[in-house]
Amino acid sequence: MNPKNLKYHKEHDWARIEGETAVFGVTDYAQEQLGDIVYVELPEEGTEVTAGSSFAEIESVKAVSDVYAPLSGTIVEINEEVVDAPETINESPYENGWLVKVKISEPGEADDLMSSDEYEGLLAEEEE
């Protein structure tokens, strides 16, 4: 269910590492828990983000949630489509619902992230 080619952060965010850049998004579990997403607040291009710190805000009918950066870096692109149509995150959390693209500043941090198998283990624990 969770793509094998992504790295996962315990706050239910993912990173797709593509050389020196990475794309961030939230996991299917996160969008499922939030329900209908109605607003997304993304930082501007050029903003520095720090692994484990909130860089964006996603709001559903039920609740507002922080999105945590899986890796540190500088925002080089934001997904305008999810700002205009936040439900894209519900529909396609791993593809069209990506949030930002980041130029990675600390490549070693990727080692701290989880594989899809490890992330599914975490979900199994949270379900208990």
Which residues here bind other proteins, judged by CB under 8 A? 35-36, 38-39, 41, 57, 59, 61-62, 64, 90
CA-wise closest residue to 34 among 102, 122, 93: 93
Minimum distance, C-beta of residue 101 to other proteins, in the bound complex (Å): 22
Decide whether 59 or 120 has the Cβ nearer to other proteins: 59
DSSP string, 41-96: E-PPTT-EE-TTSEEEEEEESS-EEEEE-SS-EEEEEE-HHHHH-THHHHH-TTTT
Nearer to other proteins, 59 or 81 (CB): 59
Considering the complex, what minimum distance in angstroms separates the CB of residue 32 from other proteins?
Answer: 9
The minimum distance between CB 9 and other proteins, in angstroms, equals 21
